[in-house]
Structure 1
Amino acid sequence: MKPIDTISMELAQQRQNSLTKPPGSLGQLEAIAIQLAACQGTSCPQIKQPWISVFAADHGITEEGVSAFPAVVTQEMVKNFSAGGAAITVISKQEKAYFEVVDVGVFNDVSPLPNLVSERVAPGSFNFAQQPAMNQTMLAQAMQVGKNAVARALSKGADLFIAGEMGIGNTSSAAVIISQLCQLPLANLVGRGTGVNDEQLLHKYKVLKAALNLHQADMQTPEDVLRCIGGLEIAALTGAYLECAREGLPMVVDGVIACAAALLAYEMQPAVKPWMLFGHQSIEPAQQAVFKHIDVTPILDLEMRLGEGSGAAMALPIIRLACALHANMATFEEAQVSDAH
């Protein structure tokens, strides 16, 4: 993992303390600017070229009826991403971010399509209620897909990386991953995902509880957890986050599925944390467990639960404003305003 620049962090903190405002009065905006200063190695960071990769894959666990939507929606949404009709593509265009959707393992190959990168590892993960979601080869290949996306981003001059996801059934994977790694009761973490009713929610919990029990003895490391109960797109997200930290590219983490991947990356390499901003708090209960475990604060709380990277991308204007305020506000000396001293 690339170390952050502590000297730039100190200089940014000193600048914040000298701006014409009471210390700390811009709250989290100050922390964002200081964190990005440490990542970019400059006292005044800025975001010029954000990059968004949405990783798409299907999940065998959908065979158990854990989702309100059929698995075919994954490939239909990939086509929607390609056509520019999804929320994340609208935000990408608005924020002038580079956008791509990456097929890691949708059941049916939908390529070629505009803005689609096809790096298919398999036609979906296995049903982890019956067997491990992936074998070792699938896991390694899917994580490499995430690394490849970061390499593309860097080749185009990206200075901020956002990873989104699409995969019907992936809130099931996220819930069991977070339960296992945070050692928290699954009953407190299983959410409604795409909108299951009370009866479906109970069924989802029972299926996932049995699956956790099935794999318990085999989940000795974070990599084991990802292989046994994860998904191809979650593996790609995890690989991307680790690669961002290795290459020194700050990233914004999205909702509960992205947070499950961030948690996996953190458990594999805790040094990824300084490179991560957390875009928003969704209404999925498992996500808040990740915030507490890693000890981070999300930027926004808009009661979203869409995924796709949408909440992380929604934080982009706030991140840019944090940088602009940090760089362009006058200091007490420049404005000839008396400070507290």
Structure 2
Amino acid sequence: MHALLDHLENLPITAVDRSLEPALRARLDGKAKPPGSLGRLEDLAVQLGMIWHPAPPRTKRAMVFVFAADHGLAEDNVSPYPASVTQAMVNAYLAGCAGMNVLARAVTAEVSVVDAGIAADLPPHPGLIDRKIGHGTRNASREPAMSLDDARRALGAAIALVSEAIDGGVDIVAIGEMGIGNTTSAALLTHRLTGTPIDECVGRGAGLDDAGVAHKRAVARIAAARSDASAPLEVLADFGGYEIAMMAGAVLAAAAKRRPVVIDGFIASAAALVAVRLHPAALDYCVFSHRSAERGHAVLLGAMSATPYLNLGFRLGEGTGALMAVPLLRAAAGILTELADLSDVLAGRFGPRP
């Protein structure tokens, strides 16, 4: 375990240079618009400017990584859907007909579907990246979901995968997931990493009724009482999923490579909190896309002092909320790099086009 912690601490993640912010704000104030008139889009432009410094922000290539894995917690009926739906949805992703695919096409984003730990052996497919750590996690209500070594391997697999994509030219990393039972896992991570009572972290997930939510909370209480883990890696191993661990690794990789990483909703934010607790400077590279309708998401956002850009009532997962924020990153970079300076406009340097 100590070697793993040393490895994570030695990732080349450095905080952005906050001293750049006044100059970036002044640059935006000098554009052909009233100062501050583009609101939070200007905040995003400043964040991108600090991330990419000294180069101008690039946003042409966006890629959403959808990590899929199964959870032993699904044995306790914490979801209205059987565990087999994880594999079925992955098949839909590969066929290009799921919600995530539709939104990815709408915003011109590439899709990478990753088998992080599905409880079945999927046939080879050109659109599927096999990084399987195991055939689903163990049932966290009875024993640790994974070993510390499993958690390390999942983090490392995602760090390598996302780093390679960035080296290949990806400018924007977005993260999403699929895994029946993973809202319970995310609720347990939220509870243990923030100290929030477990009942306040558990929501309806994939559409549970009131009785289903009550049962889910009871299962989560049993799981939470099983362990007193508090260190982020131990909490991840005790209660996480392979796909959640890989999303955390993706956040760390993007931060190490100085690229923005767009965080989806509740489950992706739980992964982001794991990453930030492992390496606090990673938070500077996170763009929180939307406010999920899932109950525990507000707790996670508060723990990271994050204000998401969108509030669409989403609670699908799959990276769908993150995808909807991709055009915002492109627009924010554009006002920083393409919007004319007010001085040039007033000097008449842009005559009428012929």
1:4 Cα offset (Å): 2.3
The aligned amino acid for 1:160 is: I
Q: Does 1:58 align with 2:70?
A: yes
Q: Given the alignment, which residue of 17, 23, 32 partners 2:35?
A: 23
Does the Cα contact within 8 Å between 2:148 and 2:233 map onto a contact in 1?
no
1:278 Cα offset (Å): 0.5
Q: Does 1:315 align with 2:325?
A: yes
Runs of at least 4 residues off by over 6 Å: none
Q: Given the alignment, which residue of 161, 172, 183 partners 1:149?
A: 161
Q: How does 1:1-341 map to 2 (within 5 A)?
A: 1-6=13-18, 9-42=21-54, 44-216=56-228, 219-336=229-346
Counterparts of 1:290 and 1:248 in 2: how far apart (Å)?
A: 23
Change (3 A) 1:44 1:156: closer
1:44 Cα offset (Å): 4.5
Residue segments in structure 2 that go unaligned for 5+ positions in a row: 1-12, 348-354
**Deviations 1:127-147 (CA, angstroms, capped at 9, x unpaired):** 000100001221111112211
Does the Cα contact within 8 Å between 1:9 and 1:43 map onto a contact in 2?
no
The aligned amino acid for 2:58 is: Q
Counterparts of 1:155 and 1:200 in 2: how far apart (Å)?
A: 45
CA root-mean-square deviation = 1.5
Does the Cα contact within 8 Å between 1:175 and 1:189 map onto a contact in 2?
yes
What percentage of aligned pairs have identical amino acids? 37
1:197 Cα offset (Å): 0.8
**Deviations 1:294-335 (CA, angstroms, capped at 9, x unpaired):** 111101100000101110011111221222233333323122
**1:108 match: secondary structure:** coil
Change (3 A) 1:152 1:99: farther
Counterparts of 1:39 and 1:19 in 2: how far apart (Å)?
A: 21
Does the Cα contact within 8 Å between 1:160 and 1:250 map onto a contact in 2?
yes
The aligned amino acid for 1:259 is: S
1:6 Cα offset (Å): 4.5
Per mean C-alpha deviation after superposition, the further-off stretch among 188-197 and 317-326 is 317-326
Counterparts of 1:89 and 1:63 in 2: how far apart (Å)?
A: 29
**Deviations 1:161-199 (CA, angstroms, capped at 9, x unpaired):** 011110000000111111111111111121100001111
**2:89 match: secondary structure:** helix
1:112 Cα offset (Å): 0.6
Counterparts of 2:23 and 2:170 in 1: how far apart (Å)?
A: 24
1:10 Cα offset (Å): 4.0
TM-score between the two structures when normalised by the length of structure 2: 0.91
Does the Cα contact within 8 Å between 2:117 and 2:132 map onto a contact in 1?
yes
Per mean C-alpha deviation after superposition, the further-off stretch among 317-326 and 22-31 is 317-326
Counterparts of 2:55 and 2:137 in 1: how far apart (Å)?
A: 44
1:22 Cα offset (Å): 2.9
Counterparts of 2:97 and 2:196 in 1: how far apart (Å)?
A: 37
Counterparts of 1:117 and 1:149 in 2: how far apart (Å)?
A: 9
1:148 Cα offset (Å): 2.2
TM-score between the two structures when normalised by the length of structure 1: 0.94
Counterparts of 1:6 and 1:153 in 2: how far apart (Å)?
A: 27
Per mean C-alpha deviation after superposition, the further-off stretch among 101-110 and 86-95 is 86-95
The aligned amino acid for 1:335 is: V
1:11 Cα offset (Å): 3.3
For this pair of structures, how many residues does the alignment match? 335
